[in-house]
Amino acid sequence: MGLEQTVLFPDSVPTWHDVQELLAKRGFPIQMRMIDGQLAFPDELPVEPWRELRVSSGANMVTIRREQNQVTLVTWGNIDAALVRTRNALAWAFAQAGKGRIQSEDGEQSAAEFLQSAELPDELRG
């Protein structure tokens, strides 16, 4: 069973390049694994508009599903602390890059609010 976290955007979903670059600048690189159901090279960029990405940080993999003005981050039910941090890092980066709002247990949060309250990798707290 998958666990989902959604990020809503006022206009459109930011590009994967912007999200990945933001995380890399903070010292938390993410690698591509699959693009729209096809295996991908770790540094491959998806062609816009992509529908589904599978990305990883180390051994942790997160599925990112894209809809019109939102992305949903999907992880498996047996999620461990490292995978929670990876998923949350992705949610933060999407929200930061696209001025989005993260749907969390505490309601909708901006990227700045989420950065203060969520379990995130130390690199993002800078």
pTM of structure? 0.95
pLDDT tens digits, one per residue of 67-80 = 999 999 999 877 89
In percent, the amount of the chain with pLDDT more than 70 equals 98
With a cut of 80, say whether residue 9 has pLDDT above it. yes
Residue 1 has pLDDT above 70, yes or no: no
Contacts (Cβ under 8 Å, ≥6 apart) of 27: 123
Least confident range from 25-29, 49-53, 77-81, 121-125: namely: 77-81
Q: CA–CA separation, 50 vs 35, rounded Å?
A: 7
